[in-house]
């Protein structure tokens, strides 16, 4: 069941560069999502594995921690990709015996879309919706990994405002 998207009509469109007044929000949830940076959301703990960790070991780590996403980093802590339950479904499950001993870099999702700590949460949520990502790594100003935003953290944040 597809919901109709809101259409921007000519009458409702206004040039954003012509309006310098501070944004107005309809409620505190909208304000929290648009007037804060990512640090208001829970971004840690996060599970990281080295690019050379085997697929099998990475899956064990995910199962032990009960999480759906491992951030794949190199020896210098630079983010190279993410390995998620979707990668297990798409790239591992039907060929488990062939890939289980390979390094996780072979089957991970390379160069994931990230947000920066100074971005607003609404941007991360929009990215999750439009890109169909469940996990969005969060970087600081120096591109250093500081956390990850996932579905549970988003629902936890929203729940605080809808109880």
Binding residues (CB under 8 A) for other proteins: these are: 1-3, 5-6, 8, 16, 25-30, 33-34, 56, 59-60, 62-63, 68, 85-86, 88-90, 92-94, 96-97, 100, 113, 115, 119-120, 122-130, 132, 134, 151-152, 154-156, 158-159, 161-162
Q: Which is nearer to other proteins, 113 or 117 (CB)?
A: 113
Q: What is the 3-state secondary structure (H, E, C) of 79-107?
A: EEEEEEHHHHHHHHHHHHHHHCCCEHHHC
CB 54 → other proteins: shortest distance, Å?
12
Of the pair 51, 61, the CB lying nearest other proteins is at 61
Question: Which residue number, 5 or 76, has a Cβ lying nearer to other proteins?
Answer: 5
Strands 79-84 and 69-73: what pairing?
A: antiparallel
Closest separation between CB of residue 4 and other proteins, Å?
10
The least CB distance from residue 60 to other proteins, in Å, is 5
Contact in structure between 107 and 92 (CB atoms under 8 Å) = yes
Kindly state the smallest distance separating residue 119's Cβ from other proteins, in Å.
Answer: 7
Tell me the closest approach of the beta carbon of residue 103 to other proteins, in angstroms: 18
Q: Which has the closest alpha carbon to 84: 39, 126, 137?
A: 137
- C-beta closer to other proteins: residue 69 or 73: 69
Helix (H) or strand (E) holding 128: helix 121-131
Report DSSP letters for 27-73, one per residue: SHHHHHHHSS-GGGS------EEETTSBHHHHHHHHHHHT-SEEEEE
């Amino acid at each position: 069941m597809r919901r109709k998207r809101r259409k921007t009509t000519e009458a409702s469109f206004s040039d954003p560069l012509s309006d310098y007044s501070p944004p107005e929000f309809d409620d505190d949830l909208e304000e929290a999502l648009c007037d804060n940076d990512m640090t208001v959301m829970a971004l840690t703990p996060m599970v990281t594995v080295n690019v050379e960790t085997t697929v099998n070991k990475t899956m064990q780590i995910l199962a032990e921690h009960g999480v759906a996403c491992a951030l794949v980093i190199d020896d210098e802590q630079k983010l190279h990709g993410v390995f998620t339950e979707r990668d297990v479904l798409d790239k591992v499950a039907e060929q488990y015996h062939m890939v289980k001993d390979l390094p996780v870099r072979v089957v991970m999702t390379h160069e994931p879309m990230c947000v920066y700590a100074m971005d607003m949460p609404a941007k991360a949520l929009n990215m999750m919706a439009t890109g169909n990502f469940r996990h969005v790594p969060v970087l600081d100003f120096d591109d250093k990994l500081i956390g990850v935003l996932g579905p549970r953290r988003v629902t936890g944040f929203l729940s605080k405002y809808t109880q």
